[in-house]
Amino acid sequence: MKIDLFENKWLDIVFEGRNKSYGAYDLRKKNTSTNIRAFIIGAVIFAFAVATPMLMELIPDSSDEDTTLNDKIVTVKLPPKEEKPKENIPPPPPPPPKVDQVKFVKPVVAKTNEVTEEPPKVEEIKDKNLGKEDIKGDPNADLVLTPPGDGPKQAEVTEDNTIYNSAGIEVKPEFPGGIQKWYSFLKNNFQAPDEPGLKGKVIVSFVVEKDGSLTDIKVLRDIGFGTGKEAERVLKKGPRWTPAEQNGKKVRCSFIQTFSVETPEE
């Protein structure tokens, strides 16, 4: 007969003819269920021990919640409430004068029944000041003297640097000796280039300053061969002019001069 040690049949054979109510028989008979129960309990305890760290991570930390709440609390200091200035507040009344002031009533020619207010008598205004109303003076008041003013200020005179056109000026600028002297000066000093058959006109503009000097010389038209430079040289060489005048004052004035150039042909 083959005996399976994993079954409880061998217990009957071992304890045959013996007292089965003894504790050893009962313990060995329940050994399988006891082992299974112990295995299950051990497995549960092992699983709980392994899962404990994961369970601890799932449980929120109270300190973290407190930190989060504290981070969200921000103290805000409100600016002080601005007080609006009071409007329409009359200025404080001036202190009483040292001498009594009597209201001055302008004399008006009217009928007797139309007179509403009579002017003060001579006795009433003796040793008193005249003003817009009656004010009782204070003999103990401090005598206040108003500092003298600077008087009316004179308007600042700005220099007129406008450049006027000679066509509309009251008094035009003039070369010393007149216009004929000016033409003679140009003819005697302008040197035409050595270019046979050259013919044309050179136009130059300039400004006659308040002191008669010529400035801002510009060649508006040039026929070449150095004629423009020669015109500038002649103008810079000339004497001072008599300046232009506008409203009785010397002013700057623009002027345009034409040089006619013509050289003989070979």
Query: What CATH number does residue 254 fall under?
Result: 3.30.1150
Q: Is residue 131 part of a domain?
A: no
What are the tokens at 205? 């503009």
Backbone torsions φ then ψ of 2, nearest 5 degrees? -90, 130
- Residue 229: φ, ψ to 5°: -60, -35
> 209: exposed, middle or buried (C-beta count within 10 Å: 0-12, 13-18, 19+)?
buried
Is residue 254 assigned to a domain?
Answer: yes
Q: Which residue has the tokens 């139309």?
A: 114
Strand pairing report for 244-246 and 249-262 = antiparallel
Last residue of a domain, one of 9, 38, 57: 57
Task: Judge whether residue 30 has pLDDT over 70.
Answer: no
Helix axes 179-189, 227-237, angle to 10 degrees: 130
Query: Do the domain assignments include residue 223?
Result: yes
Residue 135 lies inside a defined structural domain of this protein = no
Query: pTM for the complete prediction?
Result: 0.43
Query: Last residue of a domain, which of 30, 57, 84?
Result: 57
Kindly state whether residue 98 falls inside one of the protein's structural domains.
no
Q: Is 247 within the bounds of a domain?
A: yes
Over residues 207-223, the pLDDT tens digits come to 999 999 999 999 999 99
Length of the chain as a residue count: 266
For the chain, the straight-line distance linking the first and the last C-alpha, in angstroms and rounded, comes to 163
**Could you tell me if residue 147 is inside a domain?**
no
Q: Assign 249 a pLDDT band (cuts: 50, 70, 90).
A: very high
Report CA dihedral (108, 111, 116, 118) to the nearest 10 degrees.
60
40-63 tens-digit pLDDT: 888 888 888 888 887 777 776 655
* pLDDT tens digits, 135-190: 776 666 665 555 666 666 666 667 889 999 988 899 999 999 999 999 999 999 99
What does the angle CA 185 – CA 188 – CA 192 come to, to the nearest 5 degrees?
120
Domain range holding 16?
A: 1-57
Residue 136 counted as domain residue: no
Q: 130 vs 2, which has greater pLDDT? A: 130
Q: Domain count for the chain, please give it.
A: 2
Dihedral, 126, 132, 138, 144 alpha carbons, nearest 10: -100
